[in-house]
Structure 1
Amino acid sequence: MKPRVSALALVLCLACGGAAATPASYQLDGTEVRDIHARALERDYQLLVALPESYRNANRSTNRNTTRRYPVLFVTDANYAFPLVRSIAQRLAKHAGMEEVIVVGLSYAKGDSAVHSRRRDYTPSTPRGSSYRSDMPGRAPAFGEAGAYGRFIADEVFPLVAAQYRADMGRKAFVGHSYGSLLGLELLLTRPATFEHYILGSPSLWFDRGVMFEREQAYARARRDLPASVYFGIGARETLAPGKRRSRLEEEADMVADLKEFDAALNGRRYRGLQTRLEVFPGEDHASVFPVLFTRGLRAWLDRAR
């Protein structure tokens, strides 16, 4: 026997032209998206904002505390990192008793690919002798605007967040990975007080033949203080491939050795006000390490603040 179709089902099918309805997109609870124009950069970005549960509950009830302010995490590479950081931070707050935080994801520039945007905005210089190709037809690869992008964060993103949210702007943390950590190091060595804490994962210290080592040496010649708290994390498998000789080139970089060398240089200076912690995670590589290093870096910050 042929299956029967009810009259109602037939009418609904004809009304929609016989095509299946497009499924709704999934949205993250308690999140907002804000457009922001970077005036000096002449580019447009978005801020992805995740608010803690108690913040949202207070907003819905006149009987709850609406004056409480929350620490803020500013997260690079928001397309990947924002939902991950939001979920980990909220889970730790709910199940591990950790302090709640506001999470602000920093998007790539509108109209740019992720590769183009992060190469330009997160790197401290134009790499010497580079042979990079652009992934955007008709546009040359761009590098070296981390300083300008950092000023955009401090001068334009911070005021917007302070005005729109109950954010404790005296307790700000930067979260970056890979190129995102280069941006964090650029801020650390030019405007260290921009953030109270830095969570820097797997920094690409090989970039531009180790330019960040040169930047740190220049900083040491000029200053004896470095008021910052820095957490470094990296996967143990981010090492040099067997049979290769270590250098400051990407394909010959030992990222674990580079990070240990950089951390040792910072601590060897005995900068006033600087606290660093470095952890290497067994079994993790560049692609897998971020969730665990973020979790540990967040604990290192908030546990100390108790």
Structure 2
Amino acid sequence: MALVSALAASAPAALPAMAAPWQLERSDVETVTSPDGHGYRVMIAWPEGEPPAEGWPVLWLLDGDDNFAIAAMTARRLERAGARSGIQPGIVVAIESGGLPRRVLDYTPPAPGYAIPKGMPAHGLATGGGDAFLDFIDRNLRPRLAARFRIDPHRQTLMGHSFGGLLALEAMYQGRAYSRVVAVSPSLWFGDGVLAQAERQAGDAAGAVLLLASAPNESTFANNGSGDGEALVTRWQASGHAARYLPLPGQSHGSTMLAAIAAGIAAAFGEEGR
């Protein structure tokens, strides 16, 4: 009897039958259907109080299912620091990427005749839907957000990682309605120079401020006309655009987005972005 009592005392407590899930205040999740019938979960987090007269700035975040919670909580923590951080209130909009086939399709620019080579990430998957996905944000998600919140059309930031970083650069070169672009470890190897061509064709409308971040010696770069990330930033500066390279030592391709989240938030919501 004593042994049974001792075992019972040492056993872990039973979990509550109805444990409450963790929730993020002032947030919402909705599903928005694109013109081709695909449903995207869109996660939104907004600040307390009334927006400023010009509206809240917006951070559009790709791979939203992975990055929403950490970005929203980091933005709020930095905002609470006030003048010490220089971070103002803003809205985080994170778009779910879906499964790998959909992500690869949505985050890669059109490259006629190109197929991802063997041995490279996502070999064999369809590519080239990036323009349609950017149109979906511009024509569907942006008006939907503006109908719900007062947003500042002049402070819109797009942030993405890997293929998402590639898409962010494509949006910048096309002169899409983003004031800032944050490209983390962009997949510059994609498309046999398609991004370099977009860079050459970028006109005066391509005026977004660029922040490009990567770890040293990442395999996301290749000698295909795009060079490496730091060289891309140098070229963009030389053409008269504001740009900055952020090295992320000690990181790998899989960890660079997490390491760059605070810098992305500063680009979107910082005082210098006003």
1:101 and 2:81 correspond: no
- Among all aligned residue pairs of Structure 1 and Structure 2, give the percentage whose two residues are the same amino acid: 26
Gaps of 5+ in 1: 4-18, 59-64, 241-245, 250-254
1:21 and 2:21 correspond: no
User: What secondary structure, in the 3-state scheme, does the structure 2 residue paired with 1:32 have?
Assistant: strand
Aligned pair count reads 258
1:227 and 2:172 correspond: no
* Kept in 2: contact 1:213–1:262 (CA 8 A): no
Residue 279 to residue 156, structure 1, CA distance change in 2 (3 Å): same
Could you tell me which residue of structure 1 aligns to residue 44 of structure 2? 49
1:89 and 2:75 correspond: yes
| Structure 2 residue corresponding to 1:303, chosen from 262, 271, 274 | 271
User: What secondary structure, in the 3-state scheme, does the structure 2 residue paired with 1:194 have?
Assistant: coil
* Kept in 1: contact 2:236–2:242 (CA 8 A): no
Letter in 1 for 2:26: G
Could you tell me which residue of structure 1 aligns to residue 9 of structure 2? none
RMSD: 3.2
* Kept in 2: contact 1:32–1:48 (CA 8 A): yes
Displacement of 1:141: 2.4
* Kept in 2: contact 1:124–1:147 (CA 8 A): yes
Residue 49 to residue 224, structure 1, CA distance change in 2 (3 Å): closer
User: What secondary structure, in the 3-state scheme, does the structure 1 residue paired with 2:110 have?
Assistant: coil
* Kept in 1: contact 2:165–2:186 (CA 8 A): yes
Could you tell me which residue of structure 2 aligns to residue 15 of structure 1? none
Letter in 2 for 1:118: R
Letter in 2 for 1:45: Y
| Structure 1 residue corresponding to 2:106, chosen from 109, 112, 121 | 121
* Kept in 1: contact 2:158–2:181 (CA 8 A): yes
* Kept in 1: contact 2:64–2:95 (CA 8 A): yes
Could you tell me which residue of structure 2 aligns to residue 202 of structure 1? 185
Letter in 1 for 2:145: V
| Structure 1 residue corresponding to 2:60, chosen from 74, 77, 81 | 74
Residue by residue over 1:117-162, the C-alpha shift from the partner in whole angstroms, topping out at 9 and shown as x without a partner, is: 21010001357243569x9xxxx72211000100000000001100
TM-score normalised to structure 1 length? 0.74
Displacement of 1:91: 0.9
In 1, Cα distance between equivalents of 2:22 and 2:166: 32
In 1, Cα distance between equivalents of 2:210 and 2:114: 28
User: What secondary structure, in the 3-state scheme, does the structure 1 residue paired with 2:207 have?
Assistant: strand
1:289 and 2:256 correspond: yes
Letter in 1 for 2:236: L
* Kept in 2: contact 1:193–1:227 (CA 8 A): no
Could you tell me which residue of structure 1 aligns to residue 197 of structure 2? 214
Q: Which moved more, 1:259-268 or 1:141-150?
A: 259-268
In 1, Cα distance between equivalents of 2:101 and 2:56: 33
Residue 67 to residue 288, structure 1, CA distance change in 2 (3 Å): same
Displacement of 1:20: 7.3
| Structure 2 residue corresponding to 1:158, chosen from 135, 142, 162 | 142
Could you tell me which residue of structure 2 aligns to residue 262 of structure 1? 232
Find the structure with the greater CA-based Rg.
Answer: 1
Gaps of 5+ in 2: 6-14
The higher-RCO structure (CA 8 Å, 6+ apart) is 2
In 2, Cα distance between equivalents of 1:49 and 1:225: 28
* Kept in 1: contact 2:165–2:185 (CA 8 A): yes
In 1, Cα distance between equivalents of 2:127 and 2:167: 12
Could you tell me which residue of structure 2 aligns to residue 276 of structure 1? 243
